Structure 1
Amino acid sequence: MNENKNLYVISYDISKDRTRNKVSKVLEGFGQRVQYSLFECRLNNTQLQTIKMKLLKLIDNKEDSIIIYKLTPEAQRFIEYLGIKKNYKEDIFYV
């Protein structure tokens, strides 16, 4: 089954260094870092559910925060970059 992939922007605010590093490693397996605590990920529905489960196992729900934004094709047209634009590498395969 070839599911369409959507663009998600995932940001996090994690209090503990060790947890923050683990969250970062999970996200690196699904997308690319575009800012220190901000990732762009192209995910199908299965990958989205997988990433959510992995992240929920790592964070402290009372201290940490992860926000997942789904960007529709319409919304993606309005993305603006100031300064250096970090291109999303479409040819990279993420697990």
Structure 2
Amino acid sequence: MMLVVTYDVDTTNASGQKRLRKVAKICERYGMRVQNSVFEVLFDAAQLVVLKHELEKIIDTEQDSVRFYRLGNSYERRIETMGKRPRVEAGGALIF
């Protein structure tokens, strides 16, 4: 299933900036960054549980937020892009 993962981390102090970097690194391991705090991720249910657990350990639930939008398995018909596109579409072939 395709998910869109977005996050907003409070960076008004040094600890928030550190959390932001950690959240970004975790999301980069699982998916493709399509905007600054937005990732497209192809997952199964077990991988989603692991991602949520990892992020839960990092974020400050009083100041930060992470949102998961489930696009499902027929996500190709649900994504429209205007302007700059990612180098590789999610699920696309990597050719070097």
Q: Shorter-chain TM-score: what band?
A: 0.7 to 0.9
SS in 1 for 2:78: coil
TM-score (normalizing by structure 2): 0.82
Give 5+ residue unaligned stretches, structure 2. 11-15
**Higher share of residues assigned helix:** 2
Identity %: 33
Q: Could you tell me which residue of structure 2 aligns to residue 3 of structure 1? A: none
Q: Could you tell me which residue of structure 2 aligns to residue 66 of structure 1? A: 66
TM-score (normalizing by structure 1): 0.83
Tell me how many residue pairs correspond in the alignment: 87
- Superposed CA deviations along residues 41-92 of structure 1, whole A, max 9, x for unmatched, are 0011111000000000000110000000110245641321111221225457
- Cα RMSD after superposing both structures: 1.7
Counterpart residue identity of residue 5, structure 2: I
Q: Could you tell me which residue of structure 2 aligns to residue 30 of structure 1? A: 30
Moved over 6 A (4+): none
Q: Could you tell me which residue of structure 2 aligns to residue 10 of structure 1? A: 5
